[in-house]
Amino acid sequence: MTSAEATSMIVQWGGLLVSPITIGIAAFVSKGVADRSIEKHKALLGQETERLKGELSKETESHKFSLRKKEILFGKEMDAASAYFDLYAKLEPRYSHPDKGAAEVIEEALENFGSMSSKISGYLAVHGVFLSEENRKDLEDVEQTSAWHQYTHTGRGDFTEADSSLQAERVLKVLKIVRGRFVDELRS
């Protein structure tokens, strides 16, 4: 064997040996790169997961606060409705005898306009914030009307008996409408 043949053979065998070593090194390097890439991606996903957990936690707390606020408000609205039903029972004229007619009911309402005005004023001072806009406006109107017409039945008011009687009838209807509206609001 000549030295050229020996060199050729060594190069062939070396190529055969270098090829698996090169493949092994390439596999090792690519595995390392892939592992680092995966770890980097896992870290990014972990950060994103923590960020999303934080946002979700913040939203959850916000919803809890909102629900608690609504629960308290609903409780106050229930208290206002309950207090109104008590007030309505005190303000509504009763048929105290079998022959009592509508004119006597209106006259009784007129006679009670002074106390009606102060009772509604007290009710609005405590519960007015928790009333619907419609109920609050109607009750403010009833309070004002009963205050203006409270002296008519004594003959000292600025309004005629007929005008005050019409207002008393209207006030009684409005009080009944407000009572019905409370029921509807609580059921919805």
44-55 mean pLDDT: 89
- For residue 26, give both structure tokens: 């390439």
8 Å CB contact between 91 and 112? yes
16 or 98, greater pLDDT: 98
Confidence bin at 17 (pLDDT 50/70/90): low
Highest mean pLDDT among 26-30, 39-43, 48-52: 48-52
DSSP-derived letter for residue 97 is S
Return the minimum-mean-pLDDT range out of 19-28, 47-56, 84-93: 19-28
Report residue 37 CA to chain centroid gap. 47
Mean pLDDT of 45-74: 90
Chain segment 101-137, per-residue pLDDT in tens: 888 888 888 888 899 999 999 999 999 999 999 999 9
Q: pLDDT confidence of 12, banded at 50, 70, 90?
A: low
Average pLDDT, the chain: 84
Residue-level pLDDT at 27: 64
- Report pLDDT digits (tens) over 130-179: 999 999 999 999 999 999 988 877 777 778 888 888 999 999 999 999 99
Q: Specify the residue for token string 């004023």.
A: 121
| Position 10 confidence tier, pLDDT thresholds 50, 70, 90 | low
Residue range 3-19: average pLDDT?
Answer: 58
How much of the chain, in percent, has pLDDT values that exceed 70? 80
Instruction: Decide if 92 contacts 175 (C-beta within 8 A).
Output: yes
The predicted pLDDT at position 72 comes to 92
Q: Which amino acid is at 100?
A: K
